[in-house]
Amino acid sequence: MRFQRCKILFGDEGFEKLQKSSVIILGVGGVGSYALDCMYRSGVGSITIVDYDIYDESNRNRQIGSDCAVGECKVSTLARLYPSIEVIKCKMDTDWVHNFDFTPYDLIIDAADTTRVKIELAKKEYKKLIMSMGSAKRIDTGKIHYDSIWKSRGDALARKIRNELKKAKFDRNFTVVYSDEEPKCKDKGSFVAVTGAFGLTLCSVGIQKLLG
Domain ranges of the chain: 4-211
131 neighbors 176 (Cβ within 8 angstroms): yes
Displacement of CA 184 from its chain's centroid (Å): 23
Q: Are strands 129-132 and 22-26 parallel, antiparallel or unpaired?
A: unpaired
26 neighbors 112 (Cβ within 8 angstroms): yes
- What percent of the chain has pLDDT above 90? 98
In this prediction, residues 26-37 reach a mean pLDDT of: 98
| pLDDT tens digits for range 63-90 | 999 998 999 999 999 999 999 999 999 9
**pLDDT value for 64:** 97
Confidence of residue 180 (pLDDT cuts 50, 70, 90): very high
Sheet holding 22-26, edge to edge: 86-89, 46-51, 22-26, 107-110, 129-132, 175-179, 144-148
DSSP helix/strand/coil, 178: strand
Strand partners, 47: 23
CB neighbours of residue 202 within 10 Å:
29
115 neighbors 161 (Cβ within 8 angstroms): yes
Report whether pLDDT(1) > 90.
no
Closest CA to 48 of 28, 65, 31: 28
At 124, which helix (H) or strand (E)? Answer: helix 115-125
Report whether pLDDT(188) > 90.
no
In this prediction, residues 15-44 reach a mean pLDDT of: 98
The residues near 8 (Cβ < 8 Å, ≥ 6 apart) are none
Question: In this structure, which amino acid lies at residue 14?
Answer: G
31 neighbors 74 (Cβ within 8 angstroms): no
CB neighbours of residue 110 within 10 Å:
26
State the Cα–Cα distance between residues 14 and 49, nearest whole angstrom. 23
CATH of domain 4-211: 3.40.50.720
**pLDDT value for 130:** 98
Question: Crossing angle, helix 192-211 and helix 32-41, to 10 degrees?
Answer: 50
**pLDDT value for 21:** 98
